Amino acid sequence: MKCIFCQIVSGEMSGDILLRNEHICAFRDIHPAAPKHVLIVPNKHIASTEELSNNDRDVAAELLLAVKEVSKLEGISETGYRIISNCGSHGRQEVKHLHIHVLGGAPMRNGLG
């Protein structure tokens, strides 16, 4: 069975998609932790940063470049935002598909959690 993010990328499940290209897909989080909360995922299923390989350099670069584009689309590039990527159980990764959270739209709380 495909993970939920693979289903959104493939169109099997709906998502509020903001940006898509050959390597990544960006969509709004269904349970936002900030006024602006977007997830950016690779189109290819990669479980976490630990599974990235040298063959995934284009994907890794596109993930970070998409952060910049999403911040502009969401109107938070000027005021700032936080990016987070959780990895593994201790990192509290809930969906086993590499993803970057882009959070903004209000001042962030202090701390990392």
**Cα 55 to Cα 38: distance, rounded to the nearest angstrom:** 26
Catalytic residue among 23, 31, 37, 99: 99
**Cα 69 to Cα 107: distance, rounded to the nearest angstrom:** 20
Helices (H) and strands (E) in the chain, counts: 2, 5
Residues forming a β-bridge with 104: 36, 81
State yes or no: is 101 an active-site residue.
no
Q: 61, 55, 27, 52: which is closest to 41 by C-alpha?
A: 27
Catalytic residues: 99
